[in-house]
């Protein structure tokens, strides 16, 4: 990768008791890039994001953001440093209104109510439904709310954990269009995604994780043509370039 990394992970290990979920993973995310991490269930993808954002303490390794060592920071300090996670399953507060979800996040992260208007402009449906309970939103709208909450922290790197999970094909398309729009606005993104085809179409560079270790990496166009990737994740043999 030619651009200098904004986020740099070196020899990361994550363990749960005696089970090592992540084994020596190293990866880079250049500024303004979209990088994807793909792999099967249980490969350790979410454990990597958890270690980056302070939800899991790494066993070993180093994490640097803009060259500063942020390894093992607790979650609130990881957010303050510039890493913001859109978690798997969205994790919204369903019994609170859309506005209460956003206001609580804004205040907790040192912002104020004015920051909400920026997200309402970005996601107009949230502004329209600001007084409704978040639990009554559609799956796609809940994902928009989860994006808005993460963006309130003005992250240096936005981390997305399985944003398409549980959504219909139409909503998945809407979510990925939203990710593209956020990127066009200048965001740097690391996305973990089981839909390998969409992830490789979205991102510029990718890593393939299996059983806690990286087995492949490269430009997404090259990975999409790799026979191993096509067989395991894309449902077909490698195709020659046109």
Domains in the chain, please, with CATH?
Answer: 5-82+156-234 (3.40.50.300), 96-154 (no CATH)
Torsion of CA 231, 236, 237, 241, to 10 degrees: -120
- Amino acid 3: pLDDT: 55
User: C-alpha distances in angstroms, 233 versus 11, 103, 135, 212, 226?
Assistant: 25, 40, 33, 17, 10
pLDDT tens digits in sequence order for the chain, 242 residues long: 455 699 999 999 999 999 999 999 999 999 999 999 999 989 999 999 999 999 999 999 999 999 999 999 999 999 999 999 999 887 899 999 999 999 988 877 655 667 888 899 999 999 999 999 999 999 889 999 999 999 998 899 999 999 988 888 888 998 999 999 999 999 999 999 989 999 999 999 999 999 999 999 999 999 999 999 998 888 755 454 44
Residues 62 and 232 sit within 8 Å (Cβ to Cβ): no
Q: Which residue has the tokens 């190293």?
A: 26
108 contact partners, CB below 8 Å, separation of at least 6: none
- Measured from the Cβ of residue 118, the count of other Cβ atoms closer than 10 Å reads 14
pLDDT confidence of residue 104:
86
Which segments within the chain are labelled E, that is strand?
5-16, 19-30, 34-38, 60-65, 68-69, 83-86, 157-161, 189-192, 205-210, 213-219
Angstrom distance (rounded) from CA 150 to CA 159: 9
**SS3 call for 197:** helix
């Amino acid at each position: 990768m030619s651009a200098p990394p904004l986020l740099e992970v070196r020899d990361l290990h994550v363990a749960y008791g005696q089970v090592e979920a992540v084994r020596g993973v190293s990866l880079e995310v250049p500024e303004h890039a979209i990088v994807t991490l793909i792999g099967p269930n249980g490969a350790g993808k979410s454990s990597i994001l958890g270690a980056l954002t302070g939800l899991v303490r790494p066993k070993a390794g180093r994490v640097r953001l803009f060259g500063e060592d942020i390894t093992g920071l607790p979650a609130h300090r990881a957010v303050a440093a510039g890493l913001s996670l859109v978690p798997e399953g969205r994790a919204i507060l369903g019994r609170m209104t859309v506005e209460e979800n956003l206001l609580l996040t804004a205040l907790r992260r040192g912002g104020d109510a004015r920051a909400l208007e920026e997200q309402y402009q970005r996601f107009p449906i949230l502004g329209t439904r600001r007084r409704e309970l978040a639990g009554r939103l559609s799956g796609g709208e809940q994902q928009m709310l989860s994006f808005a909450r993460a963006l309130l922290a003005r992250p240096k790197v936005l981390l997305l954990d399985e944003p398409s999970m549980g959504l219909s094909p139409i909503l998945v398309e809407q979510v990925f269009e939203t990710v593209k729009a956020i990127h066009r606005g200048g965001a740097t993104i690391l996305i973990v995604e089981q839909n390998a085809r969409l992830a490789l179409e979205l991102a510029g560079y990718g890593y393939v994780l299996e059983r806690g270790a990286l087995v492949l990496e490269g430009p997404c166009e090259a990975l999409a043509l790799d026979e191993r990737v096509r067989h395991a994740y894309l449902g077909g043999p490698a195709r020659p370039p046109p």
